[in-house]
Amino acid sequence: MQGKTLYTILLSIIAVLTLALAVMVIFIFTAFNGANAKPEHHNAAEKVEREVPQDEKAEYKLYSEESGDGIFNIKASEDHPNSFLMTSVSIIFDGGKKNRKLDERRQLIEKNDSLLKQATVKYFLSKSFEDLSQENAMEEAKKALKEAFNEIVSKDSEELIIIDVVIVKWMKQ
């Protein structure tokens, strides 16, 4: 008789410990939810780029014919020690749904005009005449400038408002 009582007490202790373990596992999975598994995604918010209809796009001329084309020194190379690039750069940006944020975003871009120009200078200064003479150089420049501009303008926003960078002229010397 004493063996059955001891067996029942031992079985009850195992059942309670199993139940406690199950509750602890459920608590861990629900409370922490893998937040510590990827800490770099916790700090950096995912930026969103929306599909923008044509009538909600706006243009800001960073370097244009009216304001004077941008003339950039480019990295010196052995064959082209004193080269430069003359180009015209415009930014196509999202005016918001039904252009409700157009003025606010235009002011944001105008406020960051000098930083945008500095990013453009920095990009072209890192390229040589040979780099800019490649077939896809203009496309690479547009892509790199779009990323740099979005980084500058979208610091406090979850949206990527720069849609495209338009380069009209591309004259190397």
Average pLDDT on 78-107 reads 84
Tell me the per-residue pLDDT of 50-81, one tens digit each, with 9 for 90 and over: 777 788 888 888 876 566 677 887 888 888 88
pTM of the model: 0.66
Give the 3-state secondary structure percentages of the chain, helix then strand then coil, rounded to 5: 50, 20, 30
**Structure letter (DSSP) for residue 47:** P
Better pLDDT: 21 or 43: 21
Measured distance CA(165)–CA(143) in Å, rounded: 8
Superfamily holding 54-172: Band 7 domain (3.30.479.30)
pLDDT band at 10, cuts 50/70/90?
confident
Domain definitions of the chain by residue range: 2-43, 54-172
